[in-house]
Structure 1
Amino acid sequence: MAYDEELAARMRGALSGTPGVSEKKMFGGLAFLIGGNMAVSASGNGGMMLRCEPADSAELTAEAGVERVVMRGKTMDGWLRVDDAVTADDAGLARWVKVGVDFASSLPPK
C-alpha cells in the first residue's frame, strides 16, 4: 500500500515553520525528520506513524484509534500508529504532529 499523499501534504503544512525538518521515504511511507530523527510519517500501511517518549506509550494508546507499532512481530514502545479518523481534522493532526516533533526535538541531531 502506498502512503496517503494528502496526509503527507497536511503534515508538511503542519510542520511549516518548524526548524530542521527534512523528508525521507522510509518504512514504505514518507517520514518527516527533525535533526535527522523521525518525528512523524505518512505510513505505507495507512494512517500516521510517529515517535513519542517510550514511557508515554501506555497513556497515549489508551486513546481510541492509537496503537503501538508492531515491527517484525514486536510491539514497540515509543512508536505509535494513529488512525486516519483521529487526524481527520486539523486540530487532531496538529496534536499528534506535536507529539512526534516534541520527541524528535528532544533527541541529539544525527
Structure 2
Amino acid sequence: MTASAPSPRDALAQRVRDVLESHPNVREVRMFGGLSFMVDERMAVAAGRDGDLLVRTDPAEHDDLLRRGGEPAHMGQDRPMGRGWISVPRRRVEGDEELAYWVGVGVDSRDASG
C-alpha cells in the first residue's frame, strides 16, 4: 500500500516547521481554516488548506508587502482582515528562501503589534 501525498496545507506546514525549528517557543493551533503557528503565544503565520500562507504583519509594512507579492487577506469571500494581515499565494512560497522571508515577517510582526 502506498502512502498518499500530503495535502498542500500539510506540505506547507512541514516546511514552516522546518523554518521555525530553531525558535524555542512555537506551537500549532488549528484556526482560520488552516494550521496556525503561534510564536511566543502570538500568531505569526498559518498554512492554508490550498497551500497559501496567511501572515500576520506590521500594518505599517502592508503596502510594501503587497509590492513584494502578498495579497490582502480575507475571511471568507467578502470580509477583508485589514492591514495587519497578508495572504501569500502558494506559488509565491514554493522556494525555501521566499518562505523563510514570509515566516520572518510573521515572527517579526509580534514586535510591531504590541
TM-score, scaled relative to structure 2: 0.82
The percentage of aligned residue pairs carrying the same residue is: 35
AA matched with 1:73: R
Q: Would you identify which runs of 4 or more consecutive aligned residues in structure 1 move more than 2 Å?
A: 104-108
- Paired position in structure 2 for 1:67: 71
* Counterpart pick for 1:47 among 43, 49, 52: 52
* Partner Cα distance (2:24, 2:112) in 1: 13
How far is the alpha carbon of 1:84 from its aligned partner?
A: 1.2
Does 1:34 find its partner at 2:17?
A: no
* Partner Cα distance (2:106, 2:79) in 1: 23
Does 1:84 find its partner at 2:70?
A: no
* Partner Cα distance (1:29, 1:105) in 2: 24
* Partner Cα distance (1:74, 1:88) in 2: 25
Tell which structure's C-alpha radius of gyration is larger: 2
Q: Tell me which of the two structures has the higher relative contact order, counting C-alpha pairs closer than 8 angstroms and 6 or more residues apart.
A: 1
How far is the alpha carbon of 1:36 from its aligned partner?
A: 1.5
Count of residue correspondences? 106
CA contact (8 A) 1:67 1:82 kept: yes
* Partner Cα distance (2:110, 2:14) in 1: 20
CA contact (8 A) 2:44 2:110 kept: yes
* Partner Cα distance (2:93, 2:15) in 1: 10
AA matched with 1:77: R
* Counterpart pick for 2:110 among 88, 104, 109: 104
CA contact (8 A) 2:58 2:112 kept: no
| Unmatched runs of 5 consecutive residues or more in structure 2 | 1-6
